[in-house]
Structure 1
C-alpha cells in the first residue's frame, strides 16, 4: 500500500501533520487576546478592544484559554514478533538444501520466493519429462515404422476398449478446456475488481491530501477581525503544501503506473489461456475424429502439435500453482496482520506505521486547534455581530439588527472530550448555511440597509475560518488513519473478506482445468497412435466387387482379405 508511504512523506509522518497543526495554532492563537477586530464603514476603520469594558462572557472568550495539558499516555505496548502465514509457508527451500522454510510470508526474502516456486516444480518437471520421453518414443516409432495395433486375435475387443478410453480422455480434455475458460474469465474479472478497489482507495487517500492542502492554502488568506497570517508562516505553509502535494503526486503516479502494468499482465495472461483452451479443445476433438477415421498422416500432425502443447500446458499449470500459493499466502498474511496490530511482522517493515503515542499526540493537537479556532470565531460573533448599543463606546457599528446570531459549536470541551451542541449553537458543518440567513444587504458605504447581523464580507471571512476548522475536524482523523495504518488495515480486511476467497477459487479452477487438459490430451496422444495404427484388414464390411460365387455349388459368400 503506497498510500501509507505517501502520507508519511508529507512532513515526515506524524511530525509533518503535527507541524501543520502547530502552524495553524500560531495563526489563530499567536497572542493571548486578539489585538483588533475589523468593522466600521467599508471595513476600513479598525477597532481596538478594551477587555476591561466588555462583559464577563466576552472577557472569557477573548482570553482564549491556553491549551490544556496534554493527557499523559501510557507507554506503548511492546510489540511481539509474529511470523505471518507460518503454517502455509512451510515448504522445502532449494537454497537451503531442501530444509523446510520457516520465515513465513516475506516478499523481501528470496528464500520465501524459492519455496513458493518449488510448489510449481511438479508442472515444470512433468513438462520436461513429457517433452523428452514422448519425443524419444515418437522418434523411435517414426523411424522404425512399427505398428502399434493389436494382433488379429482379440483385436475387436481391444479396439472397443481403446475407443471407449479415447472418448473418456477426450471428454476429460474438453471438460478441462471448459473449466479453464470459465476460470480464467472469472479470475480476470476478480483481479480487475480487486485492482479497481485498491485504486479507489489510493484515489481516496490522494483526495484527502489534496483537500488538506487546499484548506491550508485558504488558511493563508483567512482574516477574522483583520488578523492575518504572518508572511514567515506563509512560507512554512507553502513548504508543507509542497510536501503534501508531492506525496499526492507520487502516489497518483505510482498507482497509475502499477495499475496499468497489472492490467497489461492480466490481459496478456488471459489471451494466453484463451488460446491454449481453444487450441486444446480443437486438438482433442479433431484428433479423436481423425484417429477413429484412421487418417494416419493427418493424425501425426496433430500428435506433433499435441506433444508441444501438452508441454506448454504443464508449464502453465506449474505457474498457476505458484500464483495460487502466493495469493493464498498473501491473503493469509494480510488477515493475520489485521488481527494482530501490535505484532512485529514482515509487513511492519513494508508499512512503517507511526506508533500509537505519536498519533494520539497529533490528534490532541488537532482537537486543541479546532477548539481555539471556534473560540476565535465566537469572539467575532458575540463582540461584533451580536453587539448591542450598550457597547457603542467600544465598537463602531455597521447598523446590524435583528435576531442574535447563533454562536459556533465547539465539538470539544476544555478537556478535549467530545461534547454535544447546545440549542443556541450551530455546528461546524451547518454554520455557513445558517449564518447566511443573518447576512444583511449593504450600501455603498458598507452599512447594512436590511435586517441582519453580519455583512457579506464578514460572513465570507467567518465561513473561511469555519472551513479551516472543519478541515481539521474532518480530515485529521483520516490522516491519522494513514499514519497508524488503520486505513491500510481496513483495506486489507476488505480484500481478505470480499476478494481473496473468490480469487483463490478462480485460481484453483484454472489449475484444475490445466491439469485435466494436460492429462487428458497426454493420454489421448498415446491412444491416437494406437488407434490410428489398428489393422485395417479386419473391417466388418468389404466392397461388393470382392464378393465371389463358387460355380456348380450352393451360393456362398467369401470375403477376400488378401487385399
Structure 2
C-alpha cells in the first residue's frame, strides 16, 4: 500500500517536473525569437538573417538534419520541419496512449490470474472503509485549475479562429480588388475591340484582343484559385476550432463527474470515466503540439510579410508573389501614359482651333504629367477642365440625335452614329483611366503590400497571443488531466482488487458450503462468547 502510494506520488511529481521544464524551455525560446522579431528597424540584412535563423529546424524527412531553406511554403521540407516543432506534444500524446494500453493489458492479465488462482484475502479493510485515500482538497484544487485552464484554452481557440478569419477576409478583399481591377480594364478593352470600325483604326488590334483575353483569364484564374484555397482554409479552421472546443468541454465534464463520484462506490462507472479521460488527455497533448506548430507558422508568416513589405524582390515570398518585373511594368505604364497624354494634348489643340468658331468648349483634363516620366496625377487638373468621360455631355448639344420629325436643328452638325462612337470610346477610356491607379498598384505590388501591412500591424500580435494562450493552456490542462487519471486509476485499481477478493471468497463459499459454513459458524460462536464474557 505504501509502495503503491509512493509510486503514484513519484509519478505525479515527475510529470509536473517535466511539464515545468517543457514550458520553461518553450517560453525561453519564444522570448528569444521575439527578441529577433523586433530587429526589423535595424535594417533589411538583419531582418533577412532573422528569418533564416528562425526557420532553421530539425527536418524529419531529411534524417533529422536541420532545414536551412528559409521560409518557403512550396517546400515540403519547410512544412515537415515546422510541423515537427510540436514534437513534444506529439511524443507525449503517443507515449501516454501506449502507456495506457500497456497498463490496461497488465490490469486485465493480473485480474484474470488473481480470479482464477483464488488468492488468499489480504488485509484491505482500511482501504474499503476509508474510501479514496487522497485529500479532497487536492482534488478540488486540481479541478479548479482544470476549469481555469479550460477557460483559457477556449478563449485562445476562439480568438485564434476569429483572427485567422479576419486575416482571411483581408486576403479575400485584396484578391477581389485585384480581379475587379483587371476585369474592369478587360471589359473596357473589349468594348473598344467590339466596335469594328474603331478597331480598324487602332494599331495592333489583334494584340489588343489577345491582351484582353489574357486579362480575362488572369482575373478569373485569380478569383477561382483564391476562392478554392480560402474555402479549404475556412473549413480547416472551423473544424479545428470545433474539435478543440468539444474536446476541452468534454474533458472538463469528465473531471467534474470524477469529482462528484468520490462519495460513491461506482467502480464500473469510475473505470469508464478514467478510460475516457485517458483518451481525451491523449487528444489534448496532440492538440497542444498542433497549436504550437501553428504559433511557429504564424510567427514565420508575420516575419515574412514584413520582409516582403520592405523588399519584395529579395523576399522569400517572391516565389509565389512575383514583383521582380517592376522595370518592365514601369515601361508599359510609361508607354500607356505617353499615348494617352499625346491623345489628350491633340484633342485640346483641336479645341483651341475650334474655340474661335464654337463657344463654350472646355478643355479636357490631362491626368498625366509631361515627358519623360508621364506620371498619373489626376488631382493636378484645373477646375476649368473636364474629364474625358464628360466629353459626350459637352458635344451633346452639337449632335444630331434625331427628333420625332427626323430633322436636325440648326447647329447640330455631329451625326448620331459619330456621337455614339465618341460616347463609347470616351466611356471606355474613362474606365481605363479610373482603373489606372489600381492597375499601377497591382503592378507595383502596392495592393499586396497594403494588405500585408494591415495584417502585420493589426493582426499578427493578437494572433500570436491567442495561439500561445491555446497551446500553453492545453499543455497545462493535459498535465492536470494526467494527474487526475493517475490518482483515480490508482484508487480504482485498489477498489477493484478489494471487490475481486470478496467475489473470490463468495465463490469459495458457494463451491464448498460445508467447510466455509462451519468456519462462519465457528467465528460467530467465538464472537458471541466474547460478548457474553463482557456482559
Q: Provide TM-score, normalisation by structure 1.
A: 0.68
1:187 matched to 2:160? The reply is yes
Cα 1:82–1:179 change in 2 (3 A) is closer
C-alpha distance in 2 between matches for 1:523 and 1:433: 82
Which residue of 444, 448, 451 corresponds with 1:491?
451
1:260 matched to 2:220? The reply is no
Q: Which residue of 1 aligns with 2:92?
A: 126
User: Is the 2:326–2:443 Cα contact (8 Å) retained in structure 1?
Assistant: no
Which residue of 311, 314, 326 corresponds with 1:356?
326
C-alpha distance in 2 between matches for 1:535 and 1:264: 46
Measured against aligned partners, the alpha-carbon deviations of 1:471-525 in whole angstroms (never above 9, x if no partner) come to 4433234223323322222222222222222222222222123213211111111
Deviation, structure 1 residue 466: 3.2
Q: Which residue of 1 aligns with 2:151?
A: 178
Deviation, structure 1 residue 325: 0.9
Q: Which residue of 2 aligns with 1:365?
A: 335
State the SS of the aligned residue for 1:408. coil
Q: Which residue of 2 aligns with 1:251?
A: 222
Q: Which residue of 1 aligns with 2:171?
A: 198
User: Is the 1:176–1:515 Cα contact (8 Å) retained in structure 2?
Assistant: no
With 166-175 and 470-479 compared, the bigger mean Cα shift is at 470-479
Which residue of 430, 435, 438 corresponds with 1:470?
430
Cα 1:321–1:228 change in 2 (3 A) is closer
User: Is the 2:73–2:79 Cα contact (8 Å) retained in structure 1?
Assistant: yes
1:318 matched to 2:282? The reply is no
State the SS of the aligned residue for 1:267. helix
Deviation, structure 1 residue 192: 2.0
Q: Which residue of 2 aligns with 1:421?
A: 381
Q: Which residue of 2 aligns with 1:107?
A: 73
User: Is the 1:119–1:321 Cα contact (8 Å) retained in structure 2?
Assistant: yes
Cα 1:468–1:382 change in 2 (3 A) is farther
Q: Which residue of 2 aligns with 1:44?
A: none
Which residue of 247, 254, 258 corresponds with 1:287?
258
C-alpha distance in 1 between matches for 2:143 and 2:122: 20
User: Is the 1:85–1:329 Cα contact (8 Å) retained in structure 2?
Assistant: yes
Deviation, structure 1 residue 532: 5.0
User: Is the 1:163–1:531 Cα contact (8 Å) retained in structure 2?
Assistant: no
Deviation, structure 1 residue 339: 1.9
Cα 1:514–1:81 change in 2 (3 A) is closer
The answer for unaligned runs of 5 or more in structure 2 is 1-44, 115-120, 499-530
User: Is the 1:91–1:116 Cα contact (8 Å) retained in structure 2?
Assistant: yes
With 275-284 and 471-480 compared, the bigger mean Cα shift is at 471-480
Write 1 or 2 for the structure with the bigger share of helix.
2
Deviation, structure 1 residue 137: 3.1
State the Cα RMSD in Å. Answer: 3.9
Which residue of 325, 341, 346 corresponds with 2:316?
346
Q: Which residue of 2 aligns with 1:75?
A: none
Q: Which residue of 1 aligns with 2:367?
A: 411
1:507 matched to 2:467? The reply is yes
User: Is the 2:57–2:81 Cα contact (8 Å) retained in structure 1?
Assistant: yes
Which residue of 460, 481, 490 corresponds with 2:441?
481
Q: Which residue of 2 aligns with 1:327?
A: 298
1:521 matched to 2:477? The reply is no
The answer for unaligned runs of 5 or more in structure 1 is 1-78, 389-400, 538-549, 555-563
C-alpha distance in 1 between matches for 2:199 and 2:311: 47
Greater RCO, CA 8 A, separation 6+: 1
Cα 1:383–1:463 change in 2 (3 A) is farther
Cα 1:535–1:281 change in 2 (3 A) is closer
Cα 1:110–1:252 change in 2 (3 A) is closer
Cα 1:200–1:227 change in 2 (3 A) is closer
With 299-308 and 511-520 compared, the bigger mean Cα shift is at 511-520
1:214 matched to 2:170? The reply is no
C-alpha distance in 2 between matches for 1:427 and 1:214: 20
Deviation, structure 1 residue 423: 5.3
C-alpha distance in 2 between matches for 1:374 and 1:352: 34
User: Is the 1:409–1:422 Cα contact (8 Å) retained in structure 2?
Assistant: yes
Number of residues paired by the alignment?
Answer: 445
Q: Which residue of 2 aligns with 1:7?
A: none
C-alpha distance in 2 between matches for 1:149 and 1:374: 107
Q: Provide TM-score, normalisation by structure 2.
A: 0.72
Deviation, structure 1 residue 468: 3.7
Cα 1:510–1:209 change in 2 (3 A) is same
Measured against aligned partners, the alpha-carbon deviations of 1:363-390 in whole angstroms (never above 9, x if no partner) come to 2112112212213443664556x462xx
Cα 1:533–1:118 change in 2 (3 A) is closer
